[in-house]
Amino acid sequence: MIDYHVHLWRHAPNLSLQATVDQLAAYCEQAANLGVTEIAVTEHTSRFAQVDALVHGWWNRDPSPARRAEALAYWDGELGADLDQYVETALAARRAGLPVVIGLEVDYIPGRMDKVAALLDGYPFDVLLGSVHWIGAWLINAVDWADAQEQWTGRGVDRVWGEYTRSVEELAATRTVDVLAHPDLAKVAGHRPDVPAEFHERIAEAASACGLAAELNSSGWRRPCAEAYPAPDLLSRFRRHGVPITTASDGHRLADVSWRISDVTAMAMRAGYRELSVFRGRRRAPWPIAPAAGRPSPARAEEPGWP
């Protein structure tokens, strides 16, 4: 099993954001105890000063002063990491023999993705996840913010899903990323359209057309939606469209790393998948969900001819 979405830091303002090999070693031990052979460290791009220098102020396009102020406070409160130090720490963990691949979770920011892509091309990333967290300056997964959740009432569920789905399509079309993270995140607060099939089909078509994988993410079971990402219907559509998959916990602390990873792996098999996707240097390769005896784990595979 693999866990291709873990974070080093929880969501809270003004944390000390310093990556360490010891933390990654603890994550790998936690994952191994749950049967996971490889993890991808995928911190949010919004944490890093180098990304902020390119995109700061993107929220000013939103017409709502309240939403702009909310986004500014949240964004600035979560900044503080250095991308060079983060990547070097992940490389050091790999040199130490830890089963780590190097990645990021790339927030979709309309009109800025070319600049973000140019920056990230200069680093030795293995995998880039793509996420839609914002509709305008509204953080849709801020389920603990009363003001943010009131947006559902004012906008309506179908409109929100339409805006979210359009953003996923736009993100996929940039081809900046390799994997769609939590691809139906719009359900996070428990709001689902009466007829989700149209939105699910559009998301699956976007992933397929742009050559992206999609992730099965257990963190939805910790959220009000009480369902893994994606919903079974969307997962089935990914399968029909030939979209490859990864599995992920989206853990932001040690106890959540690889949480219920076996359950999302079982979901994949029920949907007809027999292999996952692993990545090196932004190149994807298939990996059997149940590797044959004696075959090395992805972490031990070496070039040339990987995997």
pLDDT at 295: 42
Mean pLDDT, to the nearest integer, of 194-208? 97
Give yes or no for residue 252 having a pLDDT over 60.
yes
Higher pLDDT, 294 or 161: 161
User: What is the enclosing helix (H) or strand (E) of 43?
Assistant: strand 38-44
Q: Does domain 2-296 have CATH number 3.40.50.720?
A: no
* Confidence class for position 133, pLDDT limits 50, 70, 90: very high
Residue 258 pLDDT level (bands cut at 50, 70, 90):
very high
pLDDT at 298 over 60: no
- pLDDT exceeds 80 at position 296: no
Domain borders along the chain are 2-296
